[in-house]
Structure 1
Amino acid sequence: MLAGLSPARRRLVLGLLAALVVGAVAVAAAVLVPRLTADSPTPVSQADPGPVLLVPGYGGSTTGLQVLADVLGTAGRDATVVPVPGDGTGDLEASAEVLGQAVDAALARTGAATVDVVGYSAGGVVARLWAADGGAAQARRVLTLGSPHHGTTVADLAGSLAPDQCPVACQQLQTGSGLLRRLNAGDETPTGPTWVSIWTQDDTTVTPPDSARLDGALNLTVQSVCADSTVGHGQLPTDPLVQGMVVAELASGQPVDLGPADCARLSS
């Protein structure tokens, strides 16, 4: 397929695919049939944070998220990065099943009643799939970080120009994919946990950046806290300001509507 493209277009396609891996995005063409419990989850107590599970995005790299997990650990949280199958390029629903197993193990290990989940990039979609499939009853808070909840045009271009180089997860985060249509057709933020979505306006991997916006969540851009921030998609887990925002939003109590008055404190 790539051999038939002009050199310029071939470079474009390869660049788009590299951006998917570096930026950690994903897509879902697989059929999503959420397992809705007979009794809807009730809102859980926000007072007692349990363990934190961090979910990587497309490409499956855990390096950046481990840095964030270490920051959370320094803040006194029990934080674990959950490796996803297939290097994060396979079916996102399979990753959601792995997340569910990790949640069960964390609850059994700690004796906590609920977990907090942080999903980076495509990992945020994985967290939503898990929540829609019954996980909402086990979560106190779900925080997504630069997640393409409504798809990314980068995946659209990759699928259009080199479909044989766009694996299942790439297909599943194309705008209008079957998985995303089903995931977004009902309540984007199911009852049970409280929801936070953080993203950067300078994102060139999740495009448009406000694909990260979730109805019913506390939606925050990095620039709404520090207007001059130029953090990109790949730097979200390791940027000190973003790390400060994540720690603040995972604290005991309700999510906090951060703003410019918090910039200096969170950036230090």
Structure 2
Amino acid sequence: MIARWQRWFVAGWCLTALAWTGFAAPRSLSWLMGGWAVLLGGHGVVLAAEFLASNVVNRRGQGPHATLAQLVRAWWAECLLSPRIWAWRQPFRANRIPDHVPPPDGRRGVVLVHGFSCNRGFWLPWLSRLAAQGRCVVAVDLEPPLGSLDGFIDTLDAAVRRVHAATGQAPMLVAHSMGGLVARAWWCRTGGRVPIHRIVTLGTPHAGTWTARVGRAASSHEMRIGSAWLRALDVAQRACPPARFTCWYSNCDNMVFPMHTATLSGADNRPAHGLAHVELAFDTVVMAETLALLDED
């Protein structure tokens, strides 16, 4: 469903660009260039507003606070990366790399869990790398995209059981943003009946995020700071068997802030300061250190 919506958005953008070019070109170059500046630069303006809000909110709490150079670099990285994901990988390439489920070889597998407004196409670099290593890897599609977080648990449960059955090993879950909350909710509901090696979260709003207040989806309401859903999750997690968590967070995360909302008490909380929200999932150091956890006892 997300792929279809995003294909329509890309088609609408292209039609708008063609229509504006046809309208403005005969009139003046300034009209033409002004329209194209809006079409190409609008995304960057929205991102800049997110980074500004993130910086303002983060500075009300404990540091380390992002420098101007870090914010500008992170903004530019997100400007370049986001269109590749939302206008190419997810709408048109989501199924280019299938799940890789080889014969058992004694190694652990991985389940990849995307975040809000995403699909499995988000994980193409991870799928490619893990498949090349011969690892068992399954990437889920969480549907319907605007539904409650609880509605995604069965999908994740099926993927975890599939990897566990294929490898005979407890899999590792790697989850970006909202996907980390789905992973936690799944763990609380199953009560440890399916073993896992570790849950790694990348920019997950474990304690909610300021940006969720502008969303209207059911999951947006649940990701608001102090929401009833998050309070219930915290209570449920204290009552279920312990699991090992590694939580990556950043002082330049433009979607999950304040930054310490992306950490969990008792977890292996790892800072990746200077990285933006989407960039956090594809940073070479974050990816390498996360995959190294597969072979830890």
Q: TM-score range by the shorter chain?
A: 0.5 to 0.7
Tell whether 2:98 aligns with 1:98: no
Give yes or no for contact 1:146–1:199 (8 Å, CA) kept in 2. Answer: yes
User: 1:173 offset after TM fit, Å?
Assistant: 0.3
User: 1:76 offset after TM fit, Å?
Assistant: 4.2
Q: Which has the larger radius of gyration?
A: 2
Give yes or no for contact 1:189–1:217 (8 Å, CA) kept in 2. Answer: no
Which residue number corresponds to residue 86 of structure 1?
Answer: 144
CA spacing shift, 1:86–1:51, aligned 2, 3 Å: same
Which residue number corresponds to residue 256 of structure 2?
Answer: 206
Tell me the TM-score normalised to structure 2 length: 0.60
User: 1:119 offset after TM fit, Å?
Assistant: 1.1
Aligned length: 199
Looking at secondary structure, tell me which structure has more helix per residue: 2
Percent identity between the two aligned chains: 27
Distance in 1 of aligned mates of 2:229 and 2:130: 31
RMSD: 2.7
Segments of structure 2 that go 5 or more residues without pairing to the other structure are 1-41, 51-81, 86-105
| Paired amino acid for 2:110 | V
Q: The residue matched to 2:157 in structure 1 has which SS?
A: helix
Q: Which moved more, 1:212-221 or 1:233-242?
A: 233-242
CA spacing shift, 1:77–1:200, aligned 2, 3 Å: farther
Which residue number corresponds to residue 90 of structure 2?
Answer: none
Q: 1:69 aligns with which of 113, 127, 136?
A: 127
Q: Deviations over 1:164-220 (max 9, x none)?
A: xx1111111011111101111354695353211112221010011211111121110
CA spacing shift, 1:189–1:63, aligned 2, 3 Å: farther
Q: Which moved more, 1:170-179 or 1:193-202?
A: 193-202
Q: Deviations over 1:93-148 (max 9, x none)?
A: 1111210112222223x141422111110000000000001153421211111100
Tell me the TM-score normalised to structure 1 length: 0.67
Give yes or no for contact 2:198–2:244 (8 Å, CA) kept in 1. Answer: yes
Q: The residue matched to 1:105 in structure 2 has which SS?
A: helix
Q: Which has the higher contact order (CA 8 A, sep 6+)?
A: 1
Segments of structure 1 that go 5 or more residues without pairing to the other structure are 1-10, 25-47, 160-165, 224-229, 254-268
Q: 2:295 aligns with which of 248, 251, 259?
A: 251
Distance in 2 of aligned mates of 1:112 and 1:210: 35
